[in-house]
A = this chain, B = another copy of it.
């Protein structure tokens, strides 16, 4: 089965709000692509970035499209391929590079690396490595939001593989019983490391799991920014209305290896070919041109601007100092 077949394409016809989403979304997706390319294909290979590097190449529409639908009070629990939402929330690429390089300028001041970053003031929760551990935590965040009388939701992100974990089940189930305002966002990129979805689960779609919790679940074209954004709006409307969680399964594809050291030879070539035609960035650009929202010249300018921004950010990060070893013991407890 090809996941692409399942997807209903976004109907098209851009209202002005959508045009705005398209413009902003294109910028953030391009920025995410450029930052991650720089990390995975340059800095990592230069040995300037150590440890594991996981990027969201091809999946940019998911984190960007959903977070553009979020209010600042909404709390985001990104997974490891969701860098876009940090930019949407105002984190600078400079701080992200510093994070990856283990510098004090990073969001964890060198304590942790890569996508393990968060900022409570920005309502972003830092993941831990264990897949799906953020799901019960997202449920608790939503419990607090309701407790505090906020009209806000939690967005909890994870991959297809993460849905196999017990924590995923416990977190979704508890949220469903409590009818909590959580939007569960699955990026189904067909693989968990080297493991294809059919070795991960017995059902065809992650969305098939919604009924097991009595919650609505929807399959979304995860490579269409506007489709993701619209689905996120439906999802938050549901969650905000007190009707409980909502599950969005964004079908997409990991257009790279699992991590920077993985050549992904296990992925059949035709899957690559099929999905590279669906790359969310050119796809959005085509649509914008089609709809007369922008010209190729503007896109070229945008990409140049993004590259310059990224150059500057890398320079800033490289100038950020390493943490002082004398701080090693600080902040284990208050």
Interface residues of A (CB under 8 A from B): 164-170, 173-174, 176-177, 198-204, 208-209, 211-215, 244
Contacts and interface: CB of A to CB of B under 8 A. Distances in A.
Contact of A203 (B199, B201, B204, B211): B211
14 contacts: A166-B167, A166-B168, A166-B169, A176-B201, A177-B198, A203-B211, A203-B213, A203-B214, A204-B214, A208-B211, A208-B212, A208-B214, A209-B212, A211-B212
A167 to B, nearest CB: 6
A212 B208 CA distance: 6
Contacts of A215: 202
A164 B136 CA distance: 13
A165 B176 contact: no
A195 to B, nearest CB: 10
Nearest to A200: B177
A244 B203 CA distance: 13
Given A165-B170, A173-B201, 19 more contacts: A164-B169, A164-B170, A164-B173, A166-B167, A169-B169, A176-B203, A177-B198, A177-B202, A201-B213, A201-B214, A202-B213, A202-B215, A203-B212, A203-B213, A203-B214, A208-B211, A209-B212, A211-B211, A212-B212
A220 to B, nearest CB: 19
A211 B202 CA distance: 9
Contacts of A167: 166
A1 to B, nearest CB: 12
A14 B201 CA distance: 40
A38 B218 CA distance: 53
Contact of A202 (B165, B201, B244): B244
Nearest to A177: B202
Nearest to A199: B177
Contacts of A202: 173, 176-177, 213-215, 244
A107 to B, nearest CB: 29
Which residue of A166, A174, A214 has the most chain B CB atoms within 10 A of its CB atom?
A166
Nearest to A210: B212
Nearest to A171: B166
